[in-house]
């Protein structure tokens, strides 16, 4: 497997890539539905609803239980969900294997690291601190920090502008078609992780440049320390 010698920075998705967030999202959604005396949903259903931000996830939840919410009900549901998620997020969100050690190695090897997620930005500082990985990221972009969410390439353009990079110098690592499509639209090389959340479909169908089963395999693709830029 050849080295990506032109890569000067790496951006990562969060849910399904760095962390298993389904238990916390499912618990918050289940508590929300209970508060509203509505039918519940399973963790497996939530796994297939993750990836497009909280609003879309909740729309999928309501669709799954056969309910069309009014604007008032949706707003109430979202507020309840956010309240519950704030309480359970830290305890119910876990890093996938080898994530922390790999991020540390990349950070120590002088790669600037960015986080690009559709998760609302309000949740990110406390969560990243709780997980012990906040210090590794030079840039964190969540929902509300960008003009368009993935799969739009806007978040990756923002990373490139912040770091002063060409598209072929930024590697994007994700687990869903939203991630791979966003990177492809921005002309960035892609790594997809097979263990994440992709609506029940193999991420191989999105044609990433590299498909990995273990997060630490990223280290086999990149020189350490970071190679000098060629541009």
pLDDT 10s per residue in the chain (231 long)? Answer: 456 999 999 999 999 999 999 999 999 999 999 999 999 999 999 999 987 889 999 999 999 999 999 999 999 999 999 999 999 998 889 999 999 999 999 999 999 999 999 999 999 999 999 999 999 999 999 998 999 999 999 999 999 999 999 999 999 999 999 999 999 999 999 999 999 999 889 999 999 999 999 999 999 999 999 988 666
- Where are the alpha helices (H) located in the chain, listed in sequence order? 22-35, 43-47, 54-64, 71-92, 99-108, 124-131, 154-163, 177-185
What is the CA 3 to chain-centroid distance, rounded?
A: 24
Residue from 13, 15, 20, 175 carrying the catalytic annotation: 13
Alpha carbon distance 208, 198 (integer Å) = 13
Is 13 marked active-site? yes
Phi, psi (5° rounding) for residue 187? Answer: 65, 30
Provide the whole-model pTM: 0.91
């Amino acid at each position: 497997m050849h080295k990506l010698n032109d890569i000067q920075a790496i951006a990562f998705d969060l849910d399904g890539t760095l962390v298993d967030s389904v238990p916390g999202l499912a618990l918050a959604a289940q508590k929300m539905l209970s508060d509203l005396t509505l039918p519940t949903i399973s963790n497996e259903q939530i796994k297939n609803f993750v990836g497009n931000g909280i609003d879309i996830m909740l729309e999928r939840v309501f669709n799954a239980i056969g309910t069309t919410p009014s604007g008032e009900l949706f707003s109430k549901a979202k507020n309840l969900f956010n309240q519950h998620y704030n309480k359970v997020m830290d305890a119910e969100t876990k890093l996938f294997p080898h994530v922390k050690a790999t991020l540390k190695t990349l950070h120590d090897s002088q790669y600037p690291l960015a986080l690009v997620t559709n998760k609302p930005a309000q949740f990110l500082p406390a969560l990243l601190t709780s997980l012990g990985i906040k210090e590794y990221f030079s840039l964190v972009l969540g929902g509300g920090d960008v003009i368009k969410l993935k799969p739009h390439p806007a978040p990756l353009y923002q990373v490139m502008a912040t770091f002063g990079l060409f598209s072929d110098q930024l590697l994007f690592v994700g687990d869903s078609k939203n991630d791979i499509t966003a990177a492809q639209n921005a002309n960035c090389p892609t790594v997809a992780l097979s263990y994440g959340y992709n609506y029940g479909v193999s991420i191989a169908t999105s044609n990433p440049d590299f498909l990995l089963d273990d997060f630490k395999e990223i280290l086999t693709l990149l020189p350490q320390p970071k190679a000098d830029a060629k541009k």
